Structure 1
Amino acid sequence: MTKKILFILSEYGYWGEELLGPLVACDEWGYQSVFATPTGKRPRALPPSLDPGYVDPPLGRTVTAPEIAVAARRLDESVRLDHPVSLAEWLPDRPYQSDPEYLRALEAYHRELTKVDDDIAGYDALVIVGGSGPIVDLANNGRVHDLVLAFVRADKPIVAECYGVACLAFARDWDDRRSILAGKHVTGHPKEYDYKDGTGFLGTDFVIGPPPYPLEYVLRDATAPGGCFHGNVGRETSVLVDYPFVTARSTPDSFLAGQKLVQVLESGLRRYGW
């Protein structure tokens, strides 16, 4: 049976290579790929991610090879991303406690969540694509958290790249509020990779200095006790597998992350990179 992979993308800009890498691996293996965004709006690549001449300030060099820029632009302009699934239409939204019918609304919310467990039975893995956009509409998105938790309950692999890894740190059961990354080994955007200025988002003129939170610190806290954040600064790539999680640090790790997902699905890989 053909494997089916769910890709979650931000509506505020994804990094081209961070979609391309995992998607190429899935295409090569004949997997079916389904795309989703928070409200069903078509995702778009961040312009710098399609520019082979763009110099990443923290690294002091270009990060997108010319052939990758061409392939990422071709994908971004293709029809493949035209009609993404809307998470807002698919998953319920947890009610405020101030809702006058809070208990009934909460019961309805939990009833709908049981349907999500049934829905993901048809999927084999989840991929959360990185870039600056996830900071805005994925990291603290309750529907994304519920989807992540559903994949964890089903013991299915989850790939998260760059700022998309924050979704894993914040996905928690509301009863104990304990991160699902507790005790796990992960990688992600280290402090050294944070911009000092110019963190931008697609579809808005809002440009800030550094990102609103240092992802490394979030991940160090989320993986405790017993786990660890691995920045691997100074190494060309950083991808970790600590099943069910496959985490990728940044742009250069995208294709390796896709390869490791295939190995998880096809060969039973459960640990890599630490």
Structure 2
Amino acid sequence: MRKILTILSEYGYWGEELVGPLETFDAAGYQVDFATPTGKRPVALPPSLDPTFVDPPLGRAVVSEEMAEKVKRLEDPKNPRLDNPIILSEWLPDRPYWSAEKFLREMEAYNNAIDEVQQDLVQYDALLIVGGSGPIVDLVNNHRVHDLILGFYKLGKPIAAECYGVTCLAFARDLVERKSIIRGKHVTGHCKEYDYLDGTGFVGSDLNMGPPPYPLEYILSDATAPDGEYHGNFGREISVIVDYPFITGRSTADSYTTGQKLVEVLEKGLRRYGW
């Protein structure tokens, strides 16, 4: 049985961006393990359960009645599926400060621990990072998430990411080379035209950031340069890019296709799609 490790934010994931791939993995007979930064059960962003919510940039509802019900069933406290996720802060080591008194010894211990995690990852066939606004808070600049991505990358295993989860790929960098692992690759992700002017929020907080804190399109364009490319595919209903080992999805509507293409990568040897 194939196993997929799925990382979720504790500050809100977009419901369909989990449900789409998850249903696809279930249909393929895969086992799915979940992980969060500190082990809290992940929670869907409220608009992703609301079929009346009108997405401001798109000017239309983006959650169907059927999808709202699916997300609600997954979120039901009586449903144990998202209970007890893997705790990233316990599984992966903390990086020492450069100014640490015994930096060399601490760095050696850190690298030894990372090598042990690398062995743990052999059991998994692929990694998925689910999107939504939550990843902005606790996944995008989380070095443990970066180290997990680098672990899959070094093993040559597929890495899928959706929406703002794709930012994690741009920032996953070897500490020596400092170059993004998506340099020279083709990816998609939340495009500039999809940015909110107001209302970027998170679960567990009353904070309204207004627009998102960064334009993801610009980050991905810079990270893939000079020989790669960001593909926003604005004006097209679906934007999913496969440039092995990466499978990236732009936003909510691309969730099922992201999961399907990851399955095709694993089962049919797909290496390029969408560009």
What TM-score do you get using the length of structure 1 for normalisation? 0.99
Give distance in 1, aligned partners of 2:75 and 2:188. 26
Equivalent position SS for 1:107: helix
Deviations 1:181-239 (A, max 9, x none): 00100000011100011100001111111111100000000000100000000100100
Shift of residue 101, structure 1, vs aligned partner? 1.4
1:169 aligns with 2:136: no
Output the CA distance in 2 between the equivalents of 1:101 and 1:24: 48
The Cα shift of 1:121 comes to 0.2
TM-score normalised according to structure 2 size:
0.98
In 2, Cα distance between equivalents of 1:206 and 1:109: 35
Question: Which amino acid is the alignment partner of residue 230 of structure 1?
Answer: H
1:152 and 2:148 are equivalent in the alignment: no
> 2:26 corresponds to which residue?
27
Give distance in 2, aligned partners of 1:50 and 1:246: 25
- List aligned pairs for 1:87-98, cutoff 5 A: 87-98=88-99
Report the CA distance between 1:138 and its aligned residue.
0.2
Matched, 1:41 2:40: yes
CA offset digits 1:1-24 (Å, max 9, x no partner): x00000000000000000001100
DSSP-derived class of the 2:104 partner: helix
Structure 2 gaps, min length 5: none
Q: Is the 8 A contact 1:16 1:76 kept in 2?
A: no
CA distance in 2, matches of 1:169, 1:61: 30
CA drift of 1:35 comes to 0.2
Counterpart of 2:58 in structure 1 is 59
Q: CA RMSD of the aligned region, Å? A: 0.6
Contact persistence 1:187–1:229 (CA under 8 A): yes
Alignment map for 1:102-141 (pairs within 5 Å): 102-141=103-142
In the alignment, structure 1 segments of 5+ residues that lack a partner are: none
Deviations 1:83-109 (A, max 9, x none): 100000000011001211111111100
Partner of 2:179, secondary structure, is coil
State the match for 1:245 in structure 2.
246
TM-aligned CA deviation for residue 41 of structure 1: 0.7
Q: What is the identity percentage for the equivalent residue pairs of Structure 1 and Structure 2?
A: 67
Distance in 2 (alpha carbons) for counterparts of 1:85 and 1:42: 10
Deviation per residue, 1:236-268 (Å, 9 max, x gap): 010000000000000000001111011000000
What is the deviation of 1:271? 0.3
Deviations 1:59-101 (A, max 9, x none): 0001111101111111122210011000000000110012111
- Partner of 2:180, secondary structure, is coil
Aligned residues: 273
Q: Which runs of 4+ in 1 moved over 6 A?
A: none
User: Could you list the per-position Cα deviations for residues 127-185 of structure 1 after superposition, in whole angstroms to 9, with x for gaps in the alignment?
Assistant: 00000000000000000000000000001001100000000000001111100000100
After TM superposition, the structure 1 stretch with the greater mean CA deviation from structure 2, 19-28 or 92-101, is 92-101
